[in-house]
Amino acid sequence: MRRFSYSRPATLDEACHSAEHTRFLAGGTNLIDLMKSDVERPAHVADLKALGMHHIDEQPDGGLRLGALATNADTAAHPLVADRYPLLASAILAGASPQIRNVATNGGNLNQRTRCHYFYDPDMPCNKRSPGTGCSARGGRNRIMAILGTSDACIATFPSDMCVALAALKATVNLTGPEGERSVPIRDYHRLPGETPWRDNILRPGEIVTSIDLPPASFGPHHTYLKIRDRLSFAFAIVSAAIGLQIEDGIIRHGRIALGGVGTKPWCVPAAEALLEGKPPSHSLFRDVAERLLQGAMPDRDNAAKLRLAPRVIERALWQASAGTPQSQTDKTIR
């Protein structure tokens, strides 16, 4: 770890106007790891913990506002989240370990960095960590890397589970920065790597995530978060799917799907979601939806297995959601 200065701003305004090369510290489960590994080298660390922002409040429109500093554990266990947004609670509980979720925050989860082996190893070239050095994952050990949304410059996944559910729920991210406040739909928050893989998201310098808004609509029992990984807990997704369906009289009115583990960001394809509308659940429909979701997928050396697994995960998750039998995160039997 390199030398850095530290402050604990008392107000949002003060935090937004932190010095250049500042990193914001929330739970630290990702940032501190990366600093120890010499991947993140901030000159200044501004600790957000004095800023409040840990509440979970009901909104006038019936939605929910999740404070950026609420921990993942508190969020998943909150009665309003557990009752109304079980999809989100489930996705959070599918991630990391209880110890990490007790410390990790919602804002931190949104802004965590990739788990690409090469990004984590300062001895290796990596465009995301050191722009212009090249992408070691291409042609390397890339079993965990993305097959969708990749570019020549980077094929890293965005590893969060929680954000996959947020994308399915069409949440909104609220930001405060030196230039004021703005709100961004979650699906537009994370960026494709393109030519600038070092920018994970649309956050501008000094901008802070203050909260995440969940819209009032929820999916009743017709939802699921299905996560496939290398062991039954405490591993990042190889493929995951967050699904919510509105079903009336056996007909899907509308559906929301987001994929994790396969894309460089939580992967959503509105055209695939549109395929569901007005149709009853069926194998052929779900196969078409999966195909549409995965259109353009490009595996590299080691990750072709994701291409084989992903359609099966999507189809199984669609069946779980249609049947109203969401995947349990404690009983590891896949329904």
Residues lying near another protein in the complex (CB under 8 A) are found at: 1-3, 37-38, 115, 117-118, 120-124, 136, 139-141, 143-144, 228-236, 238, 305-306, 308-309, 312-313, 316, 332-335
CA–centroid distance for 184 within its chain: 15
Q: Kindly tell me which of 105 and 136 has the beta carbon lying closer to ligand FAD.
A: 105
310 makes contact with ligand SF4 (CB under 6 A): no
- Phi–psi pair at 98, nearest 5 degrees: -55, -40
Q: Least distance (Å) from ligand FAD to the CB of residue 324?
A: 25
Q: Kindly tell me which of 37 and 246 has the beta carbon lying closer to another protein.
A: 37
Beta bridge partners of 256: 244
61, HSE (Cβ side, Cα atoms, 13 Å): 9
Question: Which amino acid, one-letter code, is at 37?
Answer: S
116 makes contact with ligand SF4 (CB under 6 A): yes
Q: Kindly tell me which of 59 and 325 has the beta carbon lying closer to another protein.
A: 325
The binder of 14, among ligand SF4, ligand FAD, another protein, none, by C-beta within 5 to 8 A per type, is none
**DSSP secondary structure letters along 205-255:** TT-EEEEEEEPS---TT-EEEEEEESSSSSS-EEEEEEEEEEEETTEEEEE
CA dist 203 and 208 (Å) reads 8
The binder of 128, among another protein, ligand FAD, ligand SF4, none, by C-beta within 5 to 8 A per type, is ligand SF4
CA dist 162 and 152 (Å) reads 27
- Phi–psi pair at 119, nearest 5 degrees: -60, -35
Q: Kindly tell me which of 14 and 121 has the beta carbon lying closer to another protein.
A: 121
Beta bridge partners of 25: 47
Write the CB contacts of 126 (distance below 8 Å, at least 6 apart in sequence): 116, 118, 119, 133, 134, 135, 136, 137
Positions in the binding site for ligand FAD (CB under 6 A): 23-31, 33, 48, 68, 72, 95-96, 100, 103-105, 107-109, 111-112, 159-162, 208-209, 236
Q: Kindly tell me which of 135 and 203 has the beta carbon lying closer to ligand SF4.
A: 135
128 makes contact with ligand SF4 (CB under 6 A): yes
End-to-end CA distance of the chain: 45
Q: Least distance (Å) from ligand SF4 to the CB of residue 154?
A: 3
Q: Least distance (Å) from ligand FAD to the CB of residue 178?
A: 13
Total Cβ atoms within 10 A of residue 174: 18
- Specify burial of residue 175 (Cβ count, 10 A radius: 0-12, 13-18, 19+): buried
Q: Kindly tell me which of 130 and 196 has the beta carbon lying closer to another protein.
A: 130
137 makes contact with ligand SF4 (CB under 6 A): yes
Q: What angle do CA 45, 51, 57 make, to 5 degrees?
A: 135
Instruction: Among 114, 224, 303, 329, indicate the residue that binds ligand SF4 (CB under 6 A).
Output: 114
Instruction: Among 25, 39, 92, 135, indicate the residue that binds ligand SF4 (CB under 6 A).
Output: 135
The binder of 331, among ligand FAD, ligand SF4, another protein, none, by C-beta within 5 to 8 A per type, is none
Q: Least distance (Å) from ligand FAD to the CB of residue 276?
A: 26
Q: Least distance (Å) from ligand FAD to the CB of residue 279?
A: 32
| Dihedral over Cα of 300, 305, 311, 315: its sign | negative
Q: Kindly tell me which of 132 and 232 has the beta carbon lying closer to another protein.
A: 232
Question: What does the binding site for ligand SF4 look like in residue numbers (CB under 6 A)?
Answer: 114, 116, 118-119, 126-128, 135-137, 145, 154-156, 197
